[in-house]
């Protein structure tokens, strides 16, 4: 096997020359969250929550988004949560309800809350429930009726069928996830759970978001690149101690998108929010959930000033 740096160089070259992936359904760039909303004076990015309501509440308060009653007080603040609200914890529904309400309150207050899909959201929609707690399999009771003759649900364990009916493409929760982008550009920042690769730039971020959206709506097949090393929600190219070749790939992507930095979650940083590649990528998954027992920390961006809040 070639050395790690050579492997990343070869990957960068291969990815940069891949053709755009076509999906059965045409992209709908006008729907959902646009890839490039207006630039706010202040952005706070929040990493992986994993079913921990208290972590979500504390992170939002630390960001200056909410008060102690969990009401929006952020004004024109923009919050970006980079995915993985789901799995590993027991309070998923409460967290989803909280963020849904805050999206409405923020909009009325002149701000915004953007939720991205992480690998754990999309895992639930391709019916991979390995990281769902026992409570998580029961938490959404009453939201959907399970059809006993459904051949797809019949392939699941009996205790998984309720969740399967909710999160399968076209199901109520999958339709909610379809409203979220996979990657989002705000001013000089691109936000994504795992990372944007040259392949995704070639495809176009709006097109990539639209392909995922169409799959979640059950309007098109699952994109082949949503799993594995080419996935924007699975790759760790920029978050797992990137070497020079990985940083070169990052620079290629950022320059192609016309942005300065990338903000990612997905890879737990036990020492807190970490930047690599001369501050061009910021890794904000600090394992703040009860499952990981990490520190509470969020990322604040004010123009060119980027810093962690603890």
Q: Quick one: average pLDDT of 80-104?
A: 98
Residue 234 pLDDT grade (very low, low, confident, very high; cuts 50, 70, 90): very high
**Backbone φ, ψ for residue 227 (5° rounding):** -120, 160
Please tell me the number of Cα atoms within 13 Å of 138 on its side-chain side: 4
Q: What is the pLDDT of residue 13?
A: 44
Q: What is the pLDDT of residue 31?
A: 55
Residue 33 pLDDT grade (very low, low, confident, very high; cuts 50, 70, 90): low
Residue 268: how many other CB atoms lie within 10 Å: 17
Residues annotated as part of the active site: 120
Task: Please indicate, yes or no, if residue 24 is contained in any of the structural domains.
Answer: no
Q: Please give the share of the chain, as a percent, with pLDDT higher than 90.
A: 86
Task: Please indicate, yes or no, if residue 28 is contained in any of the structural domains.
Answer: no
pLDDT at 241 over 70: yes
Instruction: Specify the pTM.
Output: 0.90
Q: Quick one: average pLDDT of 238-257?
A: 98
Q: What is the pLDDT of residue 11?
A: 53
Q: Higher model confidence: residue 229 or residue 23?
A: 229
Tell me the residue range of the domain where 55 lies: 4-19+33-309
Q: Quick one: average pLDDT of 185-190?
A: 97
Residue 279: how many other CB atoms lie within 10 Å: 10
DSSP annotation of 224: G
Residue 5 pLDDT grade (very low, low, confident, very high; cuts 50, 70, 90): very low
Q: What is the pLDDT of residue 38?
A: 75
Residue 230's closest CA among 245, 208, 248, 210? 208
Q: What is the pLDDT of residue 39?
A: 86
Task: Please indicate, yes or no, if residue 232 is contained in any of the structural domains.
Answer: yes
Task: Please indicate, yes or no, if residue 25 is contained in any of the structural domains.
Answer: no
pLDDT at 23 over 60: no
CATH code for position 275: 3.60.21.10
Task: Please indicate, yes or no, if residue 188 is contained in any of the structural domains.
Answer: yes
Domain count, the chain: 1
Residue 36 pLDDT grade (very low, low, confident, very high; cuts 50, 70, 90): confident
Q: Quick one: average pLDDT of 216-226?
A: 97
For the CA atoms of 212, 50, 234, 102, the dihedral, rounded to the nearest 10 degrees, stands at: 40
Task: Please indicate, yes or no, if residue 173 is contained in any of the structural domains.
Answer: yes
Task: Please indicate, yes or no, if residue 90 is contained in any of the structural domains.
Answer: yes
Task: Please indicate, yes or no, if residue 84 is contained in any of the structural domains.
Answer: yes
Q: Higher model confidence: residue 131 or residue 29?
A: 131
Q: What is the pLDDT of residue 32?
A: 58
Tens digits of residue pLDDT in 44-63 = 999 999 999 999 999 999 99
């Amino acid at each position: 096997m070639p050395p790690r740096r050579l492997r990343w160089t070869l990957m960068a070259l291969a990815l940069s020359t891949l053709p755009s992936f076509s999906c059965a359904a045409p992209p709908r760039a006008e729907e959902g969250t646009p890839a490039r909303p207006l630039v706010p004076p202040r952005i706070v990015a929040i990493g992986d929550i994993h079913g921990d309501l208290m972590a979500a509440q504390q992170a939002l308060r630390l960001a200056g988004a909410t008060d102690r009653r969990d009401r929006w007080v952020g004004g024109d603040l923009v919050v970006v949560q980079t995915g993985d609200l789901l799995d590993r914890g027991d309070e998923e529904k409460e967290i989803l309800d909280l963020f849904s309400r805050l999206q409405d309150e923020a909009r009325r207050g002149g701000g915004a809350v953007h939720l991205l899909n992480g690998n754990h959201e999309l895992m639930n929609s391709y019916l991979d429930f390995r990281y769902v707690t026992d409570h998580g399999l029961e938490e959404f009771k009453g939201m959907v009726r399970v059809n006993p003759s459904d051949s797809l649900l019949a392939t699941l364990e009996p205790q998984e069928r309720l969740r399967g009916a909710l999160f399968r493409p076209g199901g109520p929760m999958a339709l909610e996830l379809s409203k979220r982008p996979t990657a989002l550009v705000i001013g000089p920042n691109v936000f994504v759970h795992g990372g944007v690769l040259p392949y995704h730039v070639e495809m176009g971020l709006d097109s990539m978001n639209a392909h995922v959206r169409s799959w979640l709506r059950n309007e098109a097949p699952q994109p082949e690149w949503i799993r594995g090393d080419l996935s924007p929600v699975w790759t760790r190219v920029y978050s797992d101690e990137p070497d020079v070749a990985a940083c070169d790939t990052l620079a290629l992507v950022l320059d192609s998108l016309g942005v300065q930095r990338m903000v990612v979650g997905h890879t737990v940083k036990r020492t807190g929010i970490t930047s690599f590649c001369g501050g061009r990528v910021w890794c904000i998954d600090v394992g703040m959930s009860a499952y990981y027992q990490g520190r509470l920390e969020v990322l604040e961006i004010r123009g060119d000033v980027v810093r962690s809040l603890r």
